[in-house]
Chains A and B, each alone.
Chain A
Amino acid sequence: MEMIAFLINGTFVFATALIFAALGGLITERAGVINLGLEGFMVSGAFTAGVVTYYAEQAGMAGAAPWIGFLAAPIFTLLFALLHAIASVRFKANQVISGIVVNMLAASSTFFFVKLLFDGAAETPLLHNVFSKISIPVLSELPFVGVAFFSLYPVTYIAIALAIIIYFVMYRTPLGLRLRAVGEHPGSADTAGVRVNRLRFLAVLAGGMIASLGGATVTLTMNSSFTFHTISGQGFIALAAVIFGRWHPIGAFGAALFFGVAQAVKDQIQVVEAAKHIPNEIFYLLPYVLTLVVLIFTSKKSSSPAALGVPYEPGKR
C-alpha cells in the first residue's frame, strides 16, 4: 500500500515536466502548427533554469533562486519559439523541418553557451537551491493520500492548475473557440473575422514558452544541473502524450501522467527481486510502443486538428 503511494508520488514527479511540455505542444497543434520542437523548447528551458538559478544563487537569492530560474525559462525560450513561428507561420516553411531546426539549434547553442559561461565545462555547476517537495498542512498527514497527492513539488501543482486553465480557456472562452477553429478550418475562421496567422503565431509562442517550463522542471527537481543529456527524449514523449491524449488538454494531461507511471515504476521496481532481470529499457520503450498501439486501434476515427500541418494562405481553397 505504501509502495503504491510512493509510486503515485513518483508518477507526479516524473509527469510534471511531461505535462508542461504536452500542454505547450497541445496549444500549438490545436492551432494547426505541428510542434516537433518540443524537445528543443525543453532543452532551452532546462538550460535557462540551470544558468539563471546558478547566477541568482551567486547573487545571494537562496530560496527565490529556483523560482527566478523557472520564470526565466519561458522568456529565453521565446527566442526559439519565435524562430519556429516565423519560419512555419510567417514564411510557411515545412513545419516538421522547422521543428527539427529548433531542436538542433537549441541543443547546439545551449551547450555552446554552457561551455562559454563555465570555462569549457560540459555542465552547469550543481545547484544548491532547487525546488523541494512541499507538504500541504493537515492534508499531507492523511494516510496514503497524504504521501501520494499532498507532498509534491510546487511546480506539480502549477502544472495541474495549468492543465485545468488551458482546458477552460480552450473550451469555454471565445479565444479558445478561435484557437480551435484556426486549427480545424482556418478558412472559415478567417471568414468569421479571426486573424488566422496572427493567432497561430501567438499559439506557437505560447506553446514554446509553456513547454520550456517542462525543461526547467527537469533541471530544478530531478537533476540540479544542466548537461547534454538532461533532456533526452522527454520532448518526444510529450508529443506522444499529445497524440495519445487525442489533442485534448485533459487527455494530454492523463497521457503525461500515464507515461510518468512507466518512469516511476522503473524506479520502484528495482526493489522487487524478480524484476532485476528485466532490462530497464523496457520501461523507456513503453510510452512509444503504447502510443503506436493506441494509434493503430484508433486511427480510423482521426482526432487530430483537421488543418494540422497546412500553412494558411488567405484566398486559397
Chain B
Amino acid sequence: MAKLKSLMNVFRQESIWISIISIFLGLLIGAIVMLIGGYEPILAYQSMIEKIVGNPYDIGETIRSIMPLILTGLAVAVAFRGGMFNIGVEGQIVMGSIGALFVGYFLDLPPVLHAIVAIVVGAIFGGLWGMLVAWLKTSRGINEVVTCIMLNWSALYISHIVVRMFMMEEGTARSKLIQDSASIEIPFLIQWFDGARIHWGFIITMLLLVGYSFYMNKTKWGYELRAVGSSKHAAHYAGISVNKTIHRTFFISGMMGGLVGTFEILGVFKYLAIAPTTSGLGFDGIAVALLGMNTAIGILLAAALFGALMYGSQGMSFGADVPGEVIRMVVSIIIFFAAAPGMLRVLFKLRRSTRRKEVSARGNDSVSH
C-alpha cells in the first residue's frame, strides 16, 4: 500500500506532467501538421503503431532501435547529473565504432573472446574521446559544449580517413566486414524475432541501466558526482576532487557512447559506412535524458517512446504515404516543450511545486567558452 502511495505521489510532481503534456502536444502538433499537409493523421499513427508491434520482426527491430537511445540517454544523463553537458556523444559513438571495427577486423581471436575484446576496446575508445573533453575543460578551461562539437566532427572525418586508409571495401562507401567471431548476435533470439537483429548489447544495456541507478544513488563516486553537480564549490570544500570527478564522469559518459557504436558494428551492421553526418543518436540522447528527467526508469520509458516512434515512422510512409520526417518533428517539439517548462506553466497554469532544476537551470551554468 505504501508502495502504491509513493507511486501515486510521482504523479503529483510537476515534472512528470511536463513530460506527459510535452509528449501529448508533440503528437497533437504532428497530427495538425499532417492535416495541413493533406494527410490523414489517424491513419498515419495507426500504421505507425502497426509497424511497431505488427509482427515479431518489427517488435524485435523496435527493441533494437530503443537500445542505443537508452545508452545515449544514460551517457547524457550521467554528465547532466554532474552539471556537465555532453553533446559529444555523437563523436564518442563514432570512436567506439572505430575501436570495435579495428578489433573485429584485424584481430584473430576465438569467438566469444573476440567479441568481448572488441566491446571493451570500443568502450575505451569512446571513453577516452569523452575524457578528452573533460581534460580540455579542467586543464585549459575550455567549455565542454564547444569541444564536443569540434570533436564530433573530428571523429566523423577521422573515421572516414581510417576506413579509407585501412579497410575500405572497394567499390562501396563502407569498410570491410568484421570477422564472424566478433559478432555479438544472439542467433536463437534472431530466429524468434524472424530475423530482427537482436544482440548481446541488449543485455549489457539493461545491466547498465540498473548499474546507472545504483552508481548514482548507492556509491561514493555517484555521490561525489551529484555533489559536483549541485555545487562545484561546495563539493570542493567538502574535500571532493572536482577535476577527478569530471574526468571520471566524462569517461563513463563516453564509454556509453562508445558502446553504442560498438554494438552497431558488432551486432547490427558489421561494417562502418562513410556517412556525410554523424548518426544523430547522441542528440537523441539529450532528448531521452531530458524527458526521462535523468532517472533510470525515465530514461527507459523515454527511450522506448522515441525509439518506437522513430522506428514506427517508417511504417507511416508505407501505410499512409506520410513522410516519416513528421515523427522527427514530433520528437523535436516534445523536447522543445520539455526544455522550456515555463512555457507549459503559462499555457496550463501548472503549480510551481517541484522544478526541473537538473536540466533547465543547471545545464546553462558555467557555460562560458
Is there an interface contact between A97 and B290, defined as CB atoms closer than 8 Å?
yes
The smallest beta-carbon distance between A263 and chain B, in angstroms, is 13
Shortest beta-carbon distance from A36 to chain B in Å: 7
CA distance A310 to B365 in the complex (A): 7
Separation of A10 and B218 alpha carbons in the complex (Å):
58
B360:A94 contact, CB within 8 angstroms: yes
Contact B329 A108 (CB under 8 A): yes
| Contact status B364-A291, CB under 8 Å | no
A-side interface size class: 35 or more
Q: Which residue of B lies closest to A305 (CB)?
A: B368
Of A135-143, A217-225, A236-244, A268-276, the stretch lying at the interface with chain B is A236-244
Does the CB pair A295–B147 fall under 8 Å?
yes
- Does B335 lie within 8 Å of A104, measured CB to CB? yes
Number of A-B contacts (CB under 8 A): 171
Interface of A is mostly: helix
A282-B276 in contact (CB<8A): no
A97 adjacent to B286 (CB under 8 Å): yes
Contacts of A232 in B (CB 8 A): 276-277
Asked if A296 and B142 make an inter-chain contact with CB atoms under 8 angstroms apart, the answer reads yes
Q: Which residues of A contact B349 (CB under 8 A)?
A: none
Question: How many Å lie between the Cα of A311 and that of B327 in the bound state?
Answer: 30
State which of A83, A107, A289 has its C-beta within 8 Å of the C-beta of B336.
A83
Other A-B pairs, 10, CB within 8 Å; known A36-B145, A94-B364, A101-B336: A91-B341, A96-B363, A104-B283, A105-B333, A243-B369, A281-B158, A281-B161, A282-B161, A288-B149, A310-B365
- Of all A-B residue pairs in the complex, the 3 with the closest CB atoms, nearest first, are A309-B367, A108-B328, A93-B340
B residues near A, CB below 8 A? 33, 37-38, 85, 87, 136, 140-143, 145-147, 149-154, 157-158, 160-161, 164-165, 276-277, 283, 286, 290, 321, 323, 325-329, 331-333, 335-336, 339-343, 346, 359-360, 363-365, 367-369
User: What are 23 A-to-B residue pairs whose CB atoms are below 8 Å?
Assistant: A34-B145, A34-B367, A87-B343, A96-B85, A96-B87, A96-B145, A97-B286, A98-B339, A101-B339, A104-B332, A111-B325, A233-B277, A236-B149, A281-B164, A288-B149, A288-B157, A289-B150, A291-B146, A291-B150, A295-B146, A295-B150, A300-B141, A309-B367
